[in-house]
Amino acid sequence: MNDEQRLLFDAAVAVQAHAHVPYSKYHVGCALITDDGSVFAGANIENAAYPQGWCAEASAIAAMASAGHRRIRTLLTIGPGRELATCCGGCRQKIREFADADTRVISTCADGLMAIYTMDELLPDSFGPENLDVVADE
């Protein structure tokens, strides 16, 4: 792992401990870094009124956007066990809103195993803000 990946991994592990998962017991943590080096993290939050919960990626993105940032440079997700925690389809689209084709999305597991994708590899031919001819807020 390089320094940025280690920083994100450690932040994702730390927030993973705070996941609210009384139903699935599946703790997920996510951390992302913006172009200016700001780091934001989020855990999955389940709700008895399924599907009203939040994925860890959505929680981290919400923290980032709420702080005024609009671009993800790299995002890392960790789940429990030895299987890679990959982003669900809905989260891939949420990430895409704040990413470009080269944004790195890293899937990890508790053992540190990693798979690194670009946004374009995870969501090829994706639909994003530029498809609406909208100028992104800076």
Q: Which residues of 109-122 are buried (b: 16+ CB within 10 A; e: fewer)?
A: beeeeeeebebeeb
With beta carbons less than 8 A apart as the criterion, state whether 97 and 57 touch. no
At residue 77, the 3 state secondary structure works out as strand
Instruction: Provide the terminal-to-terminal Cα distance of the chain, rounded to the nearest Å.
Output: 31
Q: Which of 57, 83, 121, 138 is catalytic?
A: 57
Q: CB neighbours of 16 closer than 8 A, spacing ≥ 6? A: 27, 28, 29, 43, 56, 78, 80
At residue 42, the 3 state secondary structure works out as strand
DSSP 129: G
Q: Among this protein's residues, is 57 annotated catalytic?
A: yes
Query: Catalytic residue numbers?
Result: 57
